């Protein structure tokens, strides 16, 4: 472990709770600013042999994430181990494929291995002067008045208290730091679960580590009330995830035996089944994960405690923005330090939550909306036609029309602005689409006149 930094007039000893993706990146940002940082993490060190990954194997990194990684100079390093996905490939029940690009040529989201990314960020942070990591430290409670953490060492089971001066809660959706804030007066909080769970499965690599379905795409099997997706891994396999109702005719509750699972997959995902040799074993061996949205406010307690990432705003995964939003928290916090200086804690914490709360609320709504899009609308030819027409408008009016997905994924436009712009554009598309039956219709004079009229009316 690195040696603590010497005392410095504008720096402080800071405490970070949680060394996941956001916690490790935040520690790196704080350390680069010259602060001494002590990090506590409930789980073991993921760089040690025998560490069990807890959650999704891969994640989709997009522009906001890259910007945050770029801010500490690690973007290129991570890009080497990411797989660009330039569009969605939809698989229908007959195995027919439909491709929908995510943006224009050259734009892509990246499938990145969560464990690799986390370990790389930990290495970088730990290599920084003044950062110390303490793994296997479960936070049992926090005394906000005396500013003390109650910790339990998960190996020795010994309990102890540790004081803090300033505490950053990056301990995820089930945050212990947020739990303490929840018991303070006037703390608004909600946790909302979907009636859907998820199950991680594997599409195997082909001979010689070949990808058996298109490598540079996010694959979707949209089935109306449920869906399966798959993201590529470097070893030729794909990490597939089934998002599926807990109860009902087609649900986890209805699939109780390997034979039932096999029959169901054969019927609804026939083109995937031959690529999933471990399907039934994995289905029963892997846990069923739940999907939740967490909203709360305030995210700060005086100028002592600040929540970031999933601890402040966990969202469902359907827009691929959970990690990106948490990383953007780091970018924004860092910019506030630049603006107000490293000791204006009260102002920085207040500005941070004022800026990030409406944006992460908007992202939470977008993520829920995208569940319907991914499981249902992407299978609708009219929807796909609309996406093509939107791309044409965007090309015809550069800088005046960015599709909602692009604003969320390929820009750092604040999420709330992206959502509002997307709603305005949706209203326009709802008026245009009745006049358009095919892609070529876009060039018809009557349609062009309507488009010109709509674009003029926007200003």
User: Which H helix or E strand runs over 67?
Assistant: helix 63-70
C-alpha 31/C-alpha 421 separation (Å) is: 37
Q: How far is the CB of 40 from a second copy (least distance, A)?
A: 20
C-alpha 331/C-alpha 322 separation (Å) is: 15
C-alpha pair distances (Å), 255 with each of 23, 139, 200: 38, 37, 15
What is the side-by-side strand order in the sheet with 166-169? 131-134, 36-40, 13-17, 166-169, 305-307, 300-301
Q: Which is nearer to a second copy, 183 or 267 (CB)?
A: 183
Residue 189 binds a second copy (CB under 8 A): yes
Identify the sign of the CA torsion 161, 51, 54, 286: negative
User: What residues from 281 to 300 belong to the interface with a second copy (CB under 8 A)?
Assistant: 290
C-alpha 118/C-alpha 48 separation (Å) is: 13
C-alpha 300/C-alpha 430 separation (Å) is: 41
Point out which span in 30-38, 56-64, 81-89, 180-188 binds a second copy (CB under 8 A). Answer: 180-188
- Residue from 193, 258, 449, 458 touching a second copy (CB under 8 A): that is 193
**What are the phi and psi torsion angles at 313 (to 5°)?**
-160, 65
Q: DSSP character for 214? A: -
- Residue from 3, 161, 182, 423 touching a second copy (CB under 8 A): that is 182
Contact by Cβ (8 Å): 139, 176: yes
C-alpha 278/C-alpha 119 separation (Å) is: 28
Q: Which is nearer to a second copy, 115 or 245 (CB)?
A: 245
Residue 302 binds a second copy (CB under 8 A): no
Classify strands 87-91 and 218-222 as parallel, antiparallel or unpaired.
parallel
User: What residues from 220 to 249 belong to the interface with a second copy (CB under 8 A)?
Assistant: 246
Q: Which is nearer to a second copy, 288 or 347 (CB)?
A: 288
Q: How far is the CB of 358 from a second copy (least distance, A)?
A: 16
Residue 188 binds a second copy (CB under 8 A): yes
- Residue from 48, 145, 186, 459 touching a second copy (CB under 8 A): that is 186
C-alpha 372/C-alpha 390 separation (Å) is: 19
Residue 10 binds a second copy (CB under 8 A): no
Q: Which is nearer to a second copy, 197 or 403 (CB)?
A: 197
Q: How far is the CB of 190 from a second copy (least distance, A)?
A: 4
> How many residues comprise the chain?
459
Residue 187 binds a second copy (CB under 8 A): yes
Burial of 105 (C-beta count, 10 Å sphere; 0-12/13-18/19+): exposed
Q: Which is nearer to a second copy, 188 or 443 (CB)?
A: 188
Q: Which is nearer to a second copy, 317 or 403 (CB)?
A: 317
List, in sequence order, every residue forming a beta bridge with 202; answer none if it has no partner.
239
Q: Which is nearer to a second copy, 144 or 213 (CB)?
A: 144
C-alpha pair distances (Å), 414 with each of 269, 288, 328, 418: 37, 33, 10, 6
Residue 161 binds a second copy (CB under 8 A): no
> Helix, strand or coil for residue 226?
coil
Point out which span in 30-38, 44-52, 187-195, 258-266 binds a second copy (CB under 8 A). Answer: 187-195
- Residue from 10, 76, 165, 191 touching a second copy (CB under 8 A): that is 191
Residue 150 binds a second copy (CB under 8 A): no
Q: Which is nearer to a second copy, 10 or 184 (CB)?
A: 184
Q: How far is the CB of 344 from a second copy (least distance, A)?
A: 22
Point out which span in 38-46, 189-197, 389-397, 406-414 binds a second copy (CB under 8 A). Answer: 189-197
Catalog residues that contact a second copy under the rule CB under 8 A.
174, 182-183, 185-193, 246, 290
């Amino acid at each position: 472990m690195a040696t603590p930094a010497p005392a410095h007039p504008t720096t402080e000893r800071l405490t970070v709770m949680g060394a996941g993706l956001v916690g490790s990146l935040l520690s790196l940002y704080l350390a680069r600013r010259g602060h001494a940082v002590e990090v506590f993490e409930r789980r073991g060190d993921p760089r040690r042999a025998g560490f069990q990954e807890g959650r999704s194997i891969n994640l989709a990194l997009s522009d906001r994430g890259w910007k945050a990684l770029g801010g500490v100079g690690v973007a290129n390093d991570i890009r080497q181990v990411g797989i660009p996905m330039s569009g969605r490939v939809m698989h229908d029940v007959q195995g027919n494929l439909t491709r929908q690009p995510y943006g224009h040529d050259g734009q892509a989201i990246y499938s990145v291995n969560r464990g690799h990314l986390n370990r790389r960020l930990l290495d970088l942070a730990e290599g920084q002067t003044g950062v110390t990591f303490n793994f296997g430290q479960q936070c049992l409670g926090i005394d906000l008045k005396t500013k003390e953490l109650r910790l339990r060492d998960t190996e020795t089971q010994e309990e102890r208290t540790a004081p803090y001066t300033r505490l950053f809660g990056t301990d995820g959706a089930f945050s212990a730091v947020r739990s303490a804030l929840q018991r303070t007066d006037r703390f608004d909080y909600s946790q909302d679960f979907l009636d859907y769970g998820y199950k991680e499965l594997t599409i195997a690599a082909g001979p010689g580590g070949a990808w058996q379905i298109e490598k540079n795409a996010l694959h979707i099997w949209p089935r109306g009330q449920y869906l399966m997706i798959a993201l590529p891994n470097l070893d030729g396999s794909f990490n597939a995830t089934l998002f599926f109702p807990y109860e009902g005719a087609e649900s986890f509750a209805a699939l109780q035996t390997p034979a039932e699972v096999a029959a169901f997959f054969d019927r609804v995902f026939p083109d995937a089944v031959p690529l999933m040799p471990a399907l039934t074993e994995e289905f029963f061996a892997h846990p069923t994960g739940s999907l939740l949205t967490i909203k709360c406010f305030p995210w700060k307690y005086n100028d002592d405690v600040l929540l970031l990432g999933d601890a402040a705003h966990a969202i469902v995964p359907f827009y691929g923005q959970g990690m990106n939003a948490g990383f953007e928290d780091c970018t924004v916090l860092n910019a506030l330090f630049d603006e107000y200086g490293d000791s204006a804690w009260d102002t920085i914490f207040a500005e941070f939550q004022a800026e990030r709360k409406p944006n992460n609320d908007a992202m939470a709504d977008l993520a829920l909306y995208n569940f319907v899009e991914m499981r249902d609308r992407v299978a609708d030819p009219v929807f796909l036609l609309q996406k093509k027409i939107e791309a044409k408008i965007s090309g015809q009016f550069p800088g005046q029309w960015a599709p909602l997905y692009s604003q969320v994924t390929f820009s750092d436009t604040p999420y709330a602005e992206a959502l509002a712009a997307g709603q305005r554009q949706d209203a326009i598309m709802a008026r245009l689409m009745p006049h358009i039956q095919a892609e070529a219709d876009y060039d018809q004079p009557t349609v062009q006149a309507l488009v010109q009229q709509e674009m003029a009316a926007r200003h």
